[in-house]
Chain A
């Protein structure tokens, strides 16, 4: 197991480097010059102003030199300097990452637990009212755009009902500490995490339901029934355990996607995470910030994939790991 993990980590470093180079070239291929964007925000700019900006941020160097400098830095975990925010990218991301991890972590766990429970419930009585309601809801959540759900949630629960805060990470100026602070953040987390989680809940629910139904038709389940085992025991110990493998594969893949969803959710709910940082950075062509966020999110996706592989072994002892 340790060898497997080490092997995968070494591979991951190379994959990360390749991603870094690819992203670098991709971003520089997009039209738009960060110096011009900054000059534009200032309302007016002369040639000297633009030249100073370009020189200060190394944008006047040939592209391969910029790439070399960037890669050299990135290997040493120096992600460069943000043109716009005027601070090191690593520091910026470090400030924002915890908020994103909290949001995506809660949304991920919430969607997985809810999705699996709802999927099991729906599959237990295929074609029943309960199944129809759960499946319809899942379809609805799956088909509705995330930004719309977010805005409606803010409208209903924040503006109309006034139950939950509609934006931000905590109550500004309240000065809460300890448990009061935790509860305050939790209250602010409800809307963004639920909104982000709903789409993924729907996916997990549908996958769990389909997988449960498929496994329940297999011979070993029939055997279990013939042995006279209780329905619940068969469901939990035999069907669910086998049905979960594709759900876990999907969850591993979706973990990366949930990061993508965070961009929208964080923007609508003013959640101070790296998704929002990236949204703003793309608009401003703040190259180093965009690359930094891609770098971190790529690392996260690779990590989640590794975790998925390890979880496989725990759930299904038949699987053997080779690096």
Chain B
């Protein structure tokens, strides 16, 4: 009697909360935003370095053609509009007029062409791969740029974000040694904030770009990125009011519940949709008995991933159902079941060629949560009768061991970049399995038929055709269990509730703080 009523009230409350939360009052200008960045970025020149901290900080300085909302739909940024030809081979972008770099020089299509065709082609390994599909780039006028592709490339519209295709000033970099250009220390872009000062080991300071082309933006006067190396100290910095925004992964998971309970504290898991951080355990398929499908299936069913999510990740994230994150385009829902079933796991192990060998499990050296997770996995596998030894390492050691394929099982997590062709295929394609890199098909999964389908799917122009191809791929890979998929990781961005709009696209805090305002009440 009561329950439906309660539900209806709750639903009504949600409906009301939506628009109310969106309104959040009239934006106010002014104030200082204090944010944590960790570890200290090596450089802010995003054309040269694209690691996490650099992307986060440089997202205020540099921009690209597009931004992507939470469901990865492109929105205008430096490009006001764009067209794609019917054959999917010509992309035309119309760039905004009146945009200037921080040094006052105008931003034109020549800068865009130089950035992509010259600078990033030389320095950016992912961009270089994407450009293999591009035949030529034309600039018919100052505000139009045309990409002629050799073939349709499904994910092409998804690469025009700041971390992949940042717009750099041609007048500063043309004809110079990019890596050693002194201007790298005083980065110049078109973004909402200008570089002011970087005291190494302490902080990075940006000030408002008064000439920003979006009227009235940014709202805040300055941004400080605080560099605090210890996770516990970062939590303290938030608790003592020194910083107002903790980006995802800034503090240990076990500190999250405590900090989340503080007054005036809001938490969001949004802002990682483009990256789709996906965790799994590599299985070294070169090693016996891991080449036996039954052993792999047994291990997969032995893992209590819901427990890991609830206990180690404080209920953040989602249990993965296969190689593709549910935030990524073309995720297939009804793939074969790989859920927790210890009895089934024991039976499978019984039927398999496993004969009591000790399996070496390489943990991920990213702090306490990952260490505990390795222990939980060891316990799960021990429960079905396997013998597991955890191998400790630091980051460099982990890289080396995975590069050299010196492991049986190895934790990892990788970004998916919004599209299986950009962030998933690299981990499963047969010709991308050479030892020497920890970022390719480390498991050495070989399936020539799927390789062909991966190649074809990337070049399909019709989204429905692509969807069908990726469904086939996902079904097959999940059946083969070349990896033990764990969680779609949930990284909470924690911030004071009076800081408005810290996360408003699929890139979260990496997208720059142009819309952030501080409620001074």
Candidates B52, B201, B242, B394; contact of A276 at CB < 8 Å = B201
B237 pairs with A166, CB closer than 8 A? yes
Q: Are A42 and B51 in contact (CB under 8 A)?
A: yes
Which residues from A are CB-within-8-Å of B227?
270, 272
Interface of B is mostly: mixed
Residues of chain B within 8 A (CB-CB) of A269 are 233
A167 with B399: in contact, given A43-B50, A92-B200, A270-B233 (CB under 8 Å)?
Answer: no
Chain A: minimal CB distance from B58 (Å): 13
Note all chain B residues with C-beta closer than 8 A to A38. 42, 51
Interface string of B223-244 (1 = CB under 8 A from A): 0101111101100110110100
Q: Categorize the interface residue count of chain A.
A: 35 or more
Answer yes or no: A268 CB below 8 A from chain B CBs: yes
In the complex, A319 has a CB within 8 A of chain B: no
* Residue of chain B at shortest CB distance from A269: B233
Are B240 and A166 within 8 A (Cβ)? yes
- Residue in B closest to A43 when the chains form the complex, CB atoms: B415
Contact status A40-B439, CB under 8 Å: yes
Q: Is the CB of A36 within 8 A of B399?
A: yes
Q: Is B128 engaged at the interface, CB distance under 8 Å to the other chain?
A: yes
Question: Contact between B399 and A47 (Cβ–Cβ < 8 Å)?
Answer: no
Q: Mark A41-54, 1 if CB is under 8 A from B, else 0.
A: 11111111110000
Pairwise interchain contact A33-B396, C-beta atoms closer than 8 A: yes
- Proximity string of chain B (41-73) to chain A, C-beta cutoff 8 Å, 1 when within and 0 when not: 011000001111000000000000000000000
Q: Which residue of A lies closest to B235 (CB)?
A: A159
Q: Does B318 contact A (CB under 8 A)?
A: no
Residue total for B at the interface (Cβ-Cβ under 8 A) = 52
Bound together, the chains give a CA A282 to CA B365 distance in angstroms of 13
Q: Are A30 and B396 closer than 8 Å at their CB atoms?
A: yes
Q: Which residues of A contact B184 (CB under 8 A)?
A: 86
A8: interface (CB < 8 Å) = no
A268 contact from B222, B233, B401, B403, Cβ within 8 A: B233
The answer to whether B229 and A267 have CB atoms under 8 Å apart is yes
Smallest CB-CB separation from A279: which chain B residue? B229
Q: Are A154's CB and B437's CB within 8 A?
A: no
Q: Which residue of A lies closest to B45 (CB)?
A: A86
The answer to whether A151 has its CB under 8 Å from any CB of chain B is yes
Query: Which 6 pairs show the lowest CB-CB distances between chains A and B?
Result: A32-B396, A272-B201, A41-B51, A49-B125, A270-B228, A285-B396
29 pairs of residues in contact across A and B, judged by CB atoms under 8 Å: A33-B400, A36-B399, A39-B125, A41-B52, A43-B51, A43-B439, A45-B439, A47-B437, A50-B437, A84-B42, A95-B200, A99-B201, A154-B233, A154-B236, A158-B236, A167-B237, A172-B202, A173-B222, A173-B224, A267-B229, A267-B230, A268-B233, A269-B233, A270-B227, A272-B202, A273-B201, A279-B229, A282-B394, A283-B396
